[in-house]
Structure 1
Amino acid sequence: MNLGILEQMPTPKGKTAEDIVEETLSFGQYAEQLGYERFWFAEHHATKGMASSSPEIMMAALASRTTRLHVGSGGILLPQYSAYKVASQLLQLQALFPGRIEAGVGRSPGGGERVRSALADGKENQLNAYPEKLEALAGYVRGQSPQGVRATPRTEAAPPVYSLGLGENSAEIAARLGIGYVYGHFIDPSRGEAAHEVYRQQFTLGSLTAPHALTAVFVICGESDAHAEKLATSQDMWLLRTEKGLDSRVPTVEEAKAAKKTERDQQKIRENRRRMIIGGPDTVREQLSYLTERYHNDKWLILTNIHDVNEKRRSFERIISLF
């Protein structure tokens, strides 16, 4: 089992952005000590509840504090940016930390239309241009010249490029370009089997010589199933409020339990649990092993967005000890 971490830098109430940055870097160092393979940073904007808006900067900061850990982005919002500029940033990171940079990109707008427009400096929506931009990015990173110019610095090896997605279409694009693929089970678990199958079956040689897929999933591993359920109430309420456009800071367990919930809220929480693995060590081992067999993929990116940073660390300690 190959285990990594996808960090959205969730912000508990009462914590500043400065607090979260320092806690995250410390956590990344600890993840390396525990034996995690990779540590990726998400990109989110215009939210109080997630402090990771510039994955490239966080990658550099964590790489400078670690020696073995692969650091990556999960993912840079490619449609809003120049493929050439993104490639140049990734190659600069590769030059600083050879062999430890992983480039995950996605087609998300990054928020509402005003956020998307601000990120793209007022340019028209280019979400539909994602396949072309992804192909250009992969070319620039490999040292090609898609528009007659090469991205610099020209490193000896190229950082691997991964495309994030939620179904067969995104898997087909990654397979056709011969790059890595990340399936977001933590967003939508319904297309996982089909997406992984398409990626494996349609993969052609490109930047990679063989398919390399990762699966991202929420996991909370408690001392027992009951303990994990208690911790999960914090994540349940955070996710519910985030999806409703409300205060997206992570609540305490006590606040989450006391919050008023409509029947529709309760139903949504139950639906969201399909995106998660919640339980004690035996339950987590069983469910993660089941998904590994179902997806024919044993490479994971794990998210845990709960209020208590110490409980979060202990959850990751338990998870890696299982495998």
Structure 2
Amino acid sequence: MTRFSLLDLVPVVEGGTVAQSLANAADLARHAETLGYQRYWVAEHHGMRGIASAATAVVIGYIAAATSRIRVGAGGIMLPNHAPLVIAEQFGTLDALFPGRIDLGLGRAPGSDQRVARAMRRTLETDPNAFPQDVMELQSYFADDGRTGIAATPGAGANVPLWILGSSTFGAQLAAALGLPYAFASHFAPDALDAALAIYRRDFRPSAQLAKPHAMAGFNVFAAETDEEAELLASSQQQSFVALRTGNPRQLPPPVAGYRAGLGAQGASILDHVLQCSAVGSPATVARQTAAFIERTGVDEVMVASAIYDHEARKRSLAITAEVMSGLTVPA
């Protein structure tokens, strides 16, 4: 059976509140747990009115407390925004509270624009090219091997699996060199997906954490009883992507019938590019499109992503997706 997990950006809908979004996230995680999702991840974004997961470690703790079995983690923490020691302490604390259930995905993007990045870091002298060194420093804190001369408390000896995230071949090269699992952000940046997976598998070196490559890819799924209903549900995220890519980010809007058909050439081009890795439709349509994605990529795990305005419709979409995924097999 194909492993399947959930990425939740904790969307704030138009007319809603952050408190409501966080409550929905906990409910969604409990629902995903009952449906057999492997893990539930939230991601670090800053300065975005439509995303409520900026304090990522805090949200992870809240979600882990609301569930009992599902793995909970970051997809991911943007490490250039933080000192590795601080992340070791945060996730060491989470591991102490929820042992054996915490994942830590690491990315090198800012999760914001340059103005917001400056507000977070106070200086932009942090070098994104130092990301590999930061990852290895973080590994050292968890291993408590003495290389840094500092014992992370909490953090030393914590059982927190690290993942490398990416939307280019850089992350694939790093994950392969360090022998870590790799997650590609194909749900919004699909261009380098095939090349990144090929590099990761070709160059992978076994490590203490992982004996063989483990690749995950993001995949948008909007599932409903009919193709028409699913297309309607997907229009909320489509509107958000167009708004973001044209410099007008917004909260998640209500669905609009016929939205995509009414877009001009620029908007249609944005969606055709950004949402290449998607399944939208009835159970049969989603099964066909998802199977094609798995056959193409050979990924070990699919990270399902979707932002749906109506919470109950989103839960139904996750249930259909779980049923579909349970009937698919990982390619040899």
**Is the TM-score greater than 0.5?**
yes
Residue 117 of structure 1 corresponds to 118
Map 1:163-182; keep pairs closer than 5 Å. Answer: 163-182=164-183
Structure 2 match to 1:77: 78
Provide the C-alpha distance between the structure 2 equivalents of 1:258 and 1:287, rounded to a whole number of angstroms. Answer: 19
5 Å-filtered alignment, 1:219-298, equals 219-254=221-256, 257=259, 261-298=263-300
One of 211, 214, 227 as aligned partner of 1:212: 214
Identity, % of aligned positions: 31
Distance 2:214 2:151 in 1: 26
Root-mean-square deviation (CA), in Å?
2.0
Q: 1:118 deviation in Å?
A: 1.8
Deviation at 1:267, TM superposition (A): 2.4
Aligned to 2:303: 301
Any conservation in 2 of the 1:183–1:215 contact (CA below 8 Å)? yes
Q: Which moved more, 1:285-294 or 1:178-187?
A: 285-294
TM-score normalised by structure 2 residue count: 0.91
Alignment match, 2:318:
316
| 1-structure distance, mates of 2:258, 2:313 | 16
Give the aligned partner of residue 194 of structure 2: 193
Instruction: Work out the CA distance in 2 between the residues paired with 1:144 and 1:281.
Output: 49
Identify if the C-alpha distance between structure 1 residues 275 and 258 changes in structure 2 by more than 3 Å, giving closer, same or farther: closer
**1:170-190 C-alpha deviation (Å, 9 max, x unpaired):** 101011111121111112222
1:72 partner SS: strand
1:269 Cα deviation after fit: 2.3
For structure 2, the residue ranges without an aligned partner over 5 or more in a row are: 327-332
Q: Tell me the secondary structure at the aligned position of residue 195 of structure 1.
A: helix
| Count of residue pairs the alignment pairs up | 323
Contact 1:234–1:256 (8 Å) recurs in 2: no
Q: Which runs of 5+ in 1 are unaligned?
A: none
Contact 1:80/1:126, CA 8 A, preserved across alignment:
no
Q: Using structure 1 for the length normalisation, give the TM-score.
A: 0.94
Q: Which amino acid aligns with 2:322?
A: I
- Misfit runs of 4+, over 3 Å: 154-157, 254-262
State the alpha-carbon separation in 1 of the partners of residues 152 and 211 from structure 2: 22
Q: How far off is 1:157 after superposition?
A: 5.1
Cα deviation, residue 146, structure 1: 3.5
- Cα pair 1:117 1:124 within 8 Å, conserved: no
User: Retained in 2: the 8 A contact 1:237–1:256?
Assistant: no
Equivalent pair of 2:141/2:155 in contact (CA under 8 Å): no
Deviation at 1:111, TM superposition (A): 1.4
3-state DSSP of counterpart to 1:253: coil
Q: Are the aligned partners of 2:79 and 2:107 in contact in 1 as well (CA < 8 Å)?
A: yes
